[in-house]
Amino acid sequence: MRVDTAVPTNPRDGPAEVARAAEQIGFDGLHAAETAHDPFLPLALATAATERIALMTSVAIAFARSPVVVAQTAWDLQALSGGRFVLGLGTQVKAHVERRFAMPWGPPAPRLREYVGLVRAAWDTWQDGAPFDFRGDHYRASLMTPFFNPGPIDQPRPPIYLAGVAPPLLRVAGEVADGLAVHPLHTVDYLRAVVLPAVRAGAARAGRGPEECVLSVPAFVITGRDAAERARRRAAVRSQIAFYASTPSYAPVLEHHGWGAAREQLTALAARRRWAEMPALIDDAMLRAFAIDVEPADVGPALRERYAGLADRISLYQRYVPGEDDAFWRELIAHLRE
């Protein structure tokens, strides 16, 4: 497995310094998520501070942006990084796209398929001089004059990873993407019973091998140097799981395990902003299914046991901080690479 970690997305929090330290300690890749800050800017800052490590948006919100604008940003980052950029895209949900980003919403799976097609069509035009004439049901583009054409780069086209939870988006990932950015709210059973079959079905539809779509998996891990630290981490993970589980878009995971009633209660509490009551609905069985809870020395073996044959890339839902627990991270990376 390749081992990744997150980079701070706030440019004032030193993403370049964290990226440099992460590369030195041995990580294979850096994720930048789109939450309170743009995910592309910290990766641009990280390119100058690193030489080897992969730089990934995980994920940028596709429907908040024009596909051609995203294609251009990715093109420049791929050239700037010397071929280390990975474009991770996600759809978000209707409420956020319409009310947070003020953008139109449409059927996410077919729209995302076209989105990827238009991004790659732009790259084909810039790299090979292919005619720029993309015509789909959701996106159309046909104007690319020389003044606005950035031209070819010396690196290959960036890989594209897509995020997905429910089968329609998972099938699109298998059909058109180079990787699937698995959501943190997953279980091994859901990966085996739902995610992999859907990815394989999408790959078969496109005449691809399923191995062409790698799985990048973030894992909830509960550990600590003493009982108090581990208890604090357990409470934090329980709260994060409750927050994710309250989102209707992630209902398929809960329904798969027969936890639909808990999901409905969590959604109702979230709607009333009763956040403090939500973690109590994540019982111990749910916590064990979503998270690994072990001593620090056992994290590597536990991750290997859980994700062997499933994950191509793995990261902890826990940010690496340079100078904190460096020995733990070095040992973890070494163990997962064996």
CATH number at residue 300: 3.20.20.30
Q: pLDDT tens digits, residue range 82-98?
A: 999 999 999 999 999 99
Residue 246: pLDDT above 90?
A: yes
Burial of 327 (0-12, 13-18, 19+ CB in 10 A): exposed
Q: Which residues contact 177 (CB under 8 A, 6 or more apart)?
A: 116, 160, 161, 162, 213
DSSP state letters, 195-208? IHHHHHHHHHHTT-
| Within a domain: 248 | no
Q: Which residues contact 213 (CB under 8 A, 6 or more apart)?
A: 173, 174, 177, 178, 179, 180, 199, 202, 203
| Within a domain: 269 | no
Instruction: Give how many domains the chain has, as a whole number.
Output: 1
| Within a domain: 253 | no
Boundaries of domain holding 26:
2-222+295-337
Q: How confident is the model at residue 338 (pLDDT cuts 50, 70, 90)?
A: confident
| Cis amide prior to 59 (ω within 30 degrees) | yes
| Within a domain: 265 | no
Q: pLDDT tens digits, residue range 172-228?
A: 999 999 999 999 999 999 999 999 999 999 999 999 999 999 999 999 999 999 999
Q: pLDDT tens digits, residue range 123-165?
A: 999 999 999 999 999 999 999 999 999 999 999 999 999 999 9
| Within a domain: 232 | no
Q: How confident is the model at residue 265 (pLDDT cuts 50, 70, 90)?
A: very high
Q: How confident is the model at residue 29 (pLDDT cuts 50, 70, 90)?
A: very high
- Neighbour-count burial for 19-48, b at 16+ CB within 10 Å, e otherwise: bbbbbeeebbbbbbbbeebbbbebbbbbbe
Mean pLDDT estimate for the chain = 97
What is the pLDDT, as a whole number, of residue 214?
A: 97
| Within a domain: 246 | no
| Within a domain: 39 | yes
Residue written as tokens 């449409």?
106
Q: How confident is the model at residue 337 (pLDDT cuts 50, 70, 90)?
A: confident
Residue 117: pLDDT above 80?
A: yes
| Within a domain: 216 | yes
